[in-house]
Amino acid sequence: MNTTIEALQKISIFSKLNNAQLSWLVKRGCYICLRSGEYLKGEGDLPGNFYVLLEGEVKFTKKVGLAERYVMTVGPGTFVGHELILLDSPCFASVQAIKHSHVIFWDNDAFWQMLRRFPAIARELLTATAQRVEILEAVSSHHEKLMALGTLAAGLAHEINNPAAALSRGAKQLDQLFKEISVLSLRLTQMELSQSQLAFLKNFISHTIEQAENTPMLLDSLVTSDREEAVINWLRAHGIDNGWRIAPAFVEKDLDTSWLDQMAQKIPIHQLDDLLCWAEQLLTGIGLLDQIKKSSIQISDLVGTVKDYSYMDRSPVQDIDIHQAIESTLTILSYKLKGGISVRRLYAPKLPIIRGLGSELNQVWTNIIDNAIQAMDNKGEITIRTVCEGSCVMVEIADDGPGIPANIKDRIFEPFFTTKDVGAGMGMGLMNTYNIVVEKHKGDIKVFSKPGDTRFQVRLPSDSLKRLKPALVR
């Protein structure tokens, strides 16, 4: 017992107790001996005991997805478990011995007796709990940023896949087309066309390029099929058997049988086949260039969206267009929305620009929308509404999912509180959301929930910068 008393005297929370008081504690404590590799607590375990490490070393690890992430290593004098009892929260990490360790612990009843009997310990533990939460907030904030980066990367990879594939496909097809059109162009030079025939072809090229620059004609499938069939029949009647291959390019550019009649009047029948094949290749090439141009613009727009979302190349504090920020977030999360979730936008026509921490506010929109997506199980509608309320901007994000149970609604902003499986989240996402909105921007966040209608309302002062902590704006 004396050895344990001496060990406890060296620990800050017990240092003000006399021997009799320490003896009382030791008599009510229990002991655990851990070999290297053995676990003191597992992530997700319910709160229960208050532990003090007397000898040895333990490490904290946390599951993130399928991986086990290292958090920290602690030595003799470390105490854990009090924050879980005080917050009524499951264990946020696994605690594993990395060398032979001795631990004394008190069960739940003995812990509360300890606090009632020794107020000095209660004060020390409350201070330690606040410090522990602050440290874990920093770890969590880093984790949230990594998660945001993961969301950003996943969204970008998914969205960029289609235009990148179209760009690659278009470039390959264009390479093959240039080889074919070069041969056809050589044949044209051997036809010895007249000035009027060359003028007709020149006008055709100008018309085709002009058509490509305009919005493409949109036809339903039945009309398109009828027009292609008419072109194929015309070509067959004029001795051209590969009409099925070249007809779609003509119809797409609104070149029908009347245009073919003009061509036949200008060009002899024996030269018509090569000229129409050349024309089809030209039309296809212009279409491919247009496809490459649009794909490049899409990729450029996506890069712009990522820069907007992350507020890259900007100072931490900036003017924020809330609608643009929400749209950037929706673009990043669009790969999660495509399964069967629709988004309805009810945006205020004239919403003031606010001053704040852009990338952190985007974490807020991401956390709330992502939670809604998960709650809705891939079906339903998310409604995003914005309103100007005096000097505040209000953003409401609603979903028609099952709702938040009444018995946990008041706890969702608590640290470590989560209803997700172990490894699926730290239970800090909504706490960080609360801190960003309330602590950093001096705003407000409220939750209203019933089955089929869950609404998160975020209110931000339009003059957030003036209310930001000095450390955040220097």
Residue 106 · residue 14 · CB < 8 Å: no
Asked if 381 contacts 400 with a C-beta cutoff of 8 angstroms, the reply is: yes
Q: Which two tokens stand for residue 90?
A: 């499951």
Tokens matching residue 418? 């989560």
More confident residue, 100 or 466: 100
Q: How confident is the model over 334-352, as pLDDT tens digits?
A: 878 877 899 999 999 888 8
State yes or no: pLDDT of 309 exceeds 60. Answer: no
Query: What is each CA distance from 446 to 292, 351, 434, 437, 449, in whole angstroms?
Result: 46, 20, 10, 11, 10
* pLDDT band per the 50, 70, 90 thresholds, residue 463: low
pLDDT at 283 over 60: yes
Characterize the bridge pairing of strands 354-357 and 94-97. unpaired
Q: What is the 3-state secondary structure (H, E, C) of 3-19?
A: HHHHHHHCCHHHCCCCH
pLDDT in tens, 405-436: 887 777 777 655 555 543 334 344 677 788 88
The residue type found at 199 is A
Residue 208 has pLDDT above 80, yes or no: no
* CA atoms of 374 and 430, how far apart (whole Å): 14
- Per the model's pLDDT, the better-predicted residue between 387 and 406 turns out to be 387
Q: Identify the pLDDT of residue 135.
A: 62
Report the relative pairing of strands 380-389 and 341-346 from DSSP bridges: parallel
Q: Is residue 304 very low, low, confident or very high in pLDDT (cuts 50, 70, 90)?
A: low
Residue 256 reports pLDDT greater than 90 = no
**pLDDT recorded at residue 470:** 35
Domains in the chain with CATH codes: 2-117 (2.60.120.10), 153-302 (no CATH), 311-473 (3.30.565.10)
Lowest mean pLDDT among 127-136, 137-146, 159-168, 232-241: 137-146
Please tell me the least confidently modeled range out of 50-59, 125-134, 281-290, 373-382.
Answer: 125-134
Q: Average model confidence (pLDDT) for the chain?
A: 78
- Quickly state the pLDDT bin for 455 (edges 50, 70, 90): very high
pLDDT at 145: 54
What's the chain look like in SS3? CHHHHHHHHCCHHHCCCCHHHHHHHHHHCEEEEECCCCEEECCCCCCCCEEEEEECCEEEEEEECCEEEEEEEECCCCEECHHHHHHCCCCCCEEEECCCEEEEEECHHHHHHHHHHCHHHHHHHHHHHHHHHHHHHHHHHHHHHHHHHHHHHHHHHHHHHHHHHHHHHHHHHHHHHHHHHHHHHHHHHCCCCCHHHHHHHHHHHHHHHHHHHCCCCCCCHHHHHHHHHHHHHHHHHCCCCCHHHHHHHHHHCCCCHHHHHHHHHHCCHHHHHHHHHHHHHHHHHHHHHHHHHHHHHHHHHHHHHHHHHHCCCCCCEEEECHHHHHHHHHHHCHHHHCCCEEEEEECCCCCCCEEEEHHHHHHHHHHHHHHHHHHHCCCEEEEEEEEEECCEEEEEEEECCCCCCHHHHCCCCCCCCCCCCCCCCCCCHHHHHHHHHHHHCCCEEEEEEECCEEEEEEEEECCHHHHCCHHHHC
**Which residues make Cβ contacts (< 8 Å) with residue 60, sequence separation at least 6?**
70, 71, 72, 73, 74, 93, 94, 95
Contact status, residue 340 vs residue 307, Cβ threshold 8 Å: no
What is the share, in percent, of the chain residues with pLDDT greater than 70? Answer: 79
Cα 442 from Cα 439, distance rounded (Å): 5
Could you give the angle at the alpha carbon of 170 between the alpha carbons of 168 and 174, nearest 5°? 120
pLDDT at residue 198, rounded to an integer: 79
Query: What pLDDT band is residue 257 in, cutting at 50, 70 and 90?
Result: confident
